[in-house]
Chains A and B, each alone.
Chain A
């Protein structure tokens, strides 16, 4: 038991409510405290990544298992958790640092930071919890605060987007709850490890009957698929992510859909359910379709943030494709090395995507902050007046398009090669096509936003570069875009990515590790 584990929930949750109380009396208290606690989370994450190995377990309340039955709420810290926590805290820190200047336009600035902290608490909770019902509860905390954050500017479109997201998200949450009810009904436990054991060991109980399993799985795919914006559950994302305040868009697209969507899906389908070919195929196919549809929809957009939002759908599809191929290979008993390669690609792309999509949304926010519009047709020539923003945005675009030496290139490379090695040639081909489409629409973004004319329109308006806190975050993220490509080196990868991959590859070891049986 490592007593630092619950800090991931305590720190953001506690700070959120401290901020409500003290922020009222001390000016700029919230702005001061939020980056600090995010930084402490970054530190904690690195502490765990570097100093710990294997799965750490924390029993809340200290209730030891009675016989075989785990009764405490389990907090689990294994490789996969660490990776997602890294994503959350890193992007979260930079997004909040960016917000310091960005939120000056809002009257209720204080509450922004409170909601943000709650969202972080929710995501950390989802990732760290080893208990399916707690995942649901934390997911709702994260989702509720994100609903509120999307509507934070109380503008027309923000409200509309928030409402749509809430209705769809509400339905999805209920579907998830329904599935949890079924799981509890049939296995009598909520602990993921214990459920996994029940499904694998007691193979002749009702719980492991194929139809039942598939039913639950479909419900869970539909529920968490909506949070992850997988086709056909993606329809809320372009509205919500494009309307939200930009740092929040960065958090939603960069982190939230992964922490509460992708992470839970892979955690449940690798570690909880016995791997099955049909389900893996379903997930892979859904990922592929959303990859294509997202790309095709993004290319026609003129709203800069809406294009980025559709691109998120497409890139999520990429991630799911990588992970899904790994799942397929494992399910069909193929070569574990190929599965590892594929999962590495998927997780690597997940990490990369959070960085560059965060960067792109922040850059788009900077453009909007200075020009007051999101329509690319009204921009052009901005590279003359916003040099830093234009460069960071270019780096983000190149990284997401998979141009070396940026990180996106390597994850794309790994995914495509893994798809070929697993002999899913069609999927590899589709991934190639989508990567071409990705380049096309990001070049469109670059062209219409930053080039296309000599920018005299903006020079006349005396537009300046964005304030320090905004440019700092963007520069740091663009540096990360380059540095993260070092993760392709196996020695570096073994610290950051390999533990996460191992958790997924040795899928059935999860329950034995957690329960110790």
Chain B
């Protein structure tokens, strides 16, 4: 019990105290941050070892508040909390040397710690009111972890908080309806069907909350904008890892505990999942800003998790959750590598980068591992979770509902999404690390120890999770939540890994053997001319054609006009209303008096006659 309290209130308390320390003492704050997040990691291990059950916290002298302070420590929340602790620590380590720039966010470490505490609060709280309280604080810290130093970044911050705040408001409504329907607002006591108007509204409202946090379509549009301008550690910490963990955690709670999914709900979730996978990855393909590209991938991967959880079977949910953990790992890692690249080069456009692999070998290695993981290449972890999702979909096809009959559609789209992910990551890796070095990049060095260490740790975890998925990871982490899993297919990850390793070694030997013979090295013959800069094709140009493809270009043009951005759609609608009402207020006093009299008369007429 006491561990749980430490977990929530220690970071929040220290975070508030850190406000007092002046900004000039940033390194000290960073060390504090690291110590606290280390302690939190320790406590999250302790909590992970705890027995499951509902805990009721005493709140000083207020018995009526204690009634609400119920914390649900079950396998799901323990799992999520453990990973929050891990990520909190790793990113704190990374921040230590990353957050020194001029444009660093004010109060970064305070908000970092408050985020950490609030995330634990949201994960463990059983009462929906307490949950929404912590959930909302996460939106606030998300807003404060980006600095509005120019037009674009302030717009991103604004957009983020508006969308998150929107989801919170809708969530409040959903919680209100749930309370009304179930007579209780403890998640562990609620279990209702998604039938009836109210039930459906409540279900949708809760979904909005979870989707916006996780960044699923159509509420995704804050993610790419946010990650483009935020410090990379903020992006890695919140949109890439914690928000995914929490959003999907809540989705699992919704689908598994709070509601019983009916056919249409499953179908809807699957459609959203598929659209998110494909739509976001298509957007990612044409990005030139690598942070924004990663942002769209952060959206795209949510689609897999939603698909997995929507299946409703233990296998599907396990797949969704495993993918969530994997995604948090490699996406967080990718943002860290992106941050490293940005810190060393100061550029965030793929066109201006290239050939960094020699100068930043460790970062390159980590980025490569993450890119292969996210693209679902065996034996990395991304492959295993995607494979589980495919298994789940195939298994799902045995059912009788409409969604079940369409299983082949979901499967195709999921596989297609995976292929497109690979395509766009080839672009990223090639654009940043391989290819010809652009001007002005000669003096780039590897990042400092504190920055590459977290990247490498995460990369090793990614590999480890991939290799030992079936043997260790799933049984210890996921199966306590979902129960024993039956796989439809067979995947021996260790033996496959060994095979792959052997093939890599053999390939390397062949490469060495080839290099041992002393070849004559000369420029390729191109008609006697010298190699020009222009003849060296950038890998990025291949992707231009996608944009011009006839069918797709229509969508891309619309996307550029922000037709698919729910934020901009509503913004223009509301501004239109605003214009009309503004015209009515023309400052002419007699008109105002007339309104007064007219209002009076209308009220009289309505009420009396």
Contacts and interface: CB of A to CB of B under 8 A. Distances in A.
A404 B201 CA distance: 24
A167 B592 CA distance: 10
A413 interface: yes
A285 B95 CA distance: 51
Interface stretch (A210-218, A360-368, A469-477): A210-218
B165 A300 contact: no
B148 interface: yes
Interface string B143-171: 00001111101110110011001101110
Nearest to B205: A432
B179 A439 contact: no
Interface string A149-173: 0000000000000011001100110
Interface in B107-163: 129, 132-134, 136-137, 139-140, 147-151, 153-155, 157-158, 161-162
B170 A300 contact: no
Contacts of A402: 165, 168-169
A333 interface: no
Interface in B550-585: 571, 574-575, 577-579, 581-582, 585
A483 to B, nearest CB: 14
Nearest to A172: B596
B149 A420 contact: no
A436 B165 contact: yes
A115 interface: no
Contacts of A232: 595-596, 598-599
A423 B599 CA distance: 28
B582 A297 contact: yes
Given A435-B169, A451-B148, A454-B150, A218 B607 contact: yes
B433 to A, nearest CB: 32
Interface stretch (B38-46, B57-65, B387-395, B438-446): B57-65
Contacts of B521: none
A217 B607 CA distance: 10
Contacts of B166: 436, 439
B176 A416 contact: yes
B293 interface: no
B157 A296 contact: no
B528 interface: no
A348 interface: no
A256 B153 CA distance: 38
A403 B154 contact: no
- In this complex, the interface size class of chain B, counting residues with CB under 8 Å from chain A, is 35 or more
A403 B585 CA distance: 31
A453 interface: yes
Nearest to B129: A413
B67 to A, nearest CB: 9
Given A232-B595, A447-B154, A296 B148 contact: no
A31 B144 CA distance: 38
Given A439-B161, A444-B158, A222 B578 contact: no
A452 B151 contact: yes
Contacts of B587: 239
Contacts of B600: 175, 218-219, 222
B578 A299 contact: yes
A293 B592 CA distance: 15
A296 B578 contact: yes
A244 interface: no
A279 interface: yes
Interface in A478-504: 489-492
A440 B148 contact: no
B608 interface: yes
B172 interface: yes
B172 A432 contact: yes
Nearest to B596: A233
B157 A447 contact: yes
A376 B140 CA distance: 23
Contacts of B578: 296-297, 299-300
Given A171-B596, A222-B599, A403-B140, A489 B604 contact: no
A403 B165 contact: yes
A235 interface: yes
Contact of B136 (A409, A429, A451): A409
Contact of A235 (B154, B157, B201, B585): B585
A403 B179 contact: no
Contacts of A409: 133, 136
Given A417-B175, A439-B161, A282 B577 contact: no
A383 B137 CA distance: 22
A429 B593 contact: no
A388 interface: no
A194 to B, nearest CB: 25
Interface in B161-194: 161-162, 165-166, 168-170, 172-173, 175-177, 179-180
A95 interface: no
B161 A443 contact: yes
Contacts of A296: 574, 577-578, 581
B592 A297 contact: no
A417 B179 contact: yes
Contacts of A214: 607-608
A166 to B, nearest CB: 10
A278 B598 CA distance: 19
Contacts of B603: 218, 221-222, 282
B575 to A, nearest CB: 6
Interface string A84-114: 0000000000000000000000000000000
A293 B139 CA distance: 27
B608 A167 contact: no
B180 A420 contact: yes
B538 to A, nearest CB: 32
B595 A416 contact: no
Contact of A447 (B65, B140, B158, B596): B158
B222 to A, nearest CB: 12
Interface in A366-419: 383, 398, 401-405, 409, 412-413, 416-417, 419
A218 B604 contact: yes
Contact of A452 (B129, B150, B173): B150
- Top 10 A-B pairs, shortest CB-CB distance: A451-B148, A420-B176, A300-B578, A404-B136, A439-B165, A232-B599, A451-B154, A235-B592, A417-B176, A443-B158
22 contacts: A168-B589, A168-B593, A172-B596, A217-B607, A226-B596, A232-B598, A235-B585, A236-B592, A296-B581, A297-B578, A402-B169, A403-B161, A403-B165, A404-B133, A436-B165, A443-B162, A446-B158, A451-B153, A452-B154, A454-B149, A454-B150, A490-B65
